[in-house]
Amino acid sequence: RFRRLWTLYQQNKDLIQIGAYEPGSNPEIDEAIQKRSALESFMSQHSDERVTVEETGKMLARIM
* The pLDDT value given to residue 49: 86
Residues 52 and 58: their CA atoms lie apart, in Å, by 10
DSSP 43: H
pLDDT digits 0-9 by tens, 8-30: 999 999 999 999 999 999 999 99
What single letter denotes the amino acid at residue 44? Answer: S
pLDDT band at 3 (very low <50, low <70, confident <90, very high): very high
- One-letter amino acid at 21 equals Y
Cα–Cα distance for residue pair 20/49, rounded to 1 Å: 37
CATH class of 2-63: mainly alpha
Instruction: Report whether pLDDT(7) > 80.
Output: yes
The domains of the chain are located at 2-63
Q: Over 90: is that where the pLDDT of 46 sits?
A: no
